[in-house]
Amino acid sequence: MKPDEVPDLAAHATAMVDAALVGTDLSRDAFWAAVRKGYNTPYNDPPRKTAAPSAVPANAIPSEVIPVTVVAAPAPVLTPAVIAAEIRAV
């Protein structure tokens, strides 16, 4: 880019921005404010703040016991289609 080309390029860029803003509710100032905000926003999210330590340790035993019922899983059903699929897989 040569220094004498800069004014022509700037005029062309200004015309393109103005053409892009036609039909929108954005003003030139609002458009450039959005561009500056996007340019100055970091690509990565800021690091998360660590949570405050809780009063109860994570490995604490609960005070109440919750009953658990163990149910046996049903036996698999072997249909001729399943058997044929296993034979083809081998």
Q: What is the pLDDT along the chain (90 residues), one digit of tens a residue?
A: 788 989 999 999 889 888 888 888 888 888 889 888 888 877 777 777 877 666 666 666 666 777 778 877 777 777 777 777 777 766
In a domain, 8, yes or no: yes
> Which pLDDT belongs to residue 17?
86
- What does residue 21 show for φ and ψ, rounded to 5 degrees? -85, -10
> pTM higher than 0.75 for the full model?
no
In a domain, 16, yes or no: yes
> Which pLDDT belongs to residue 46?
72
> Which pLDDT belongs to residue 12?
93
CA 38, CA 85: separation in Å to the nearest integer? 56
- What does residue 88 show for φ and ψ, rounded to 5 degrees? -65, -35
- Residue 19 vs residues 7, 38, 71: alpha-carbon distances, Å: 18, 21, 69
In a domain, 20, yes or no: yes
Domain that residue 37 falls in: 1-43
For residue 69, what are its two tokens? 């019922």
The rounded radius of gyration (Å) of the Cα atoms in the chain is 33
In a domain, 29, yes or no: yes
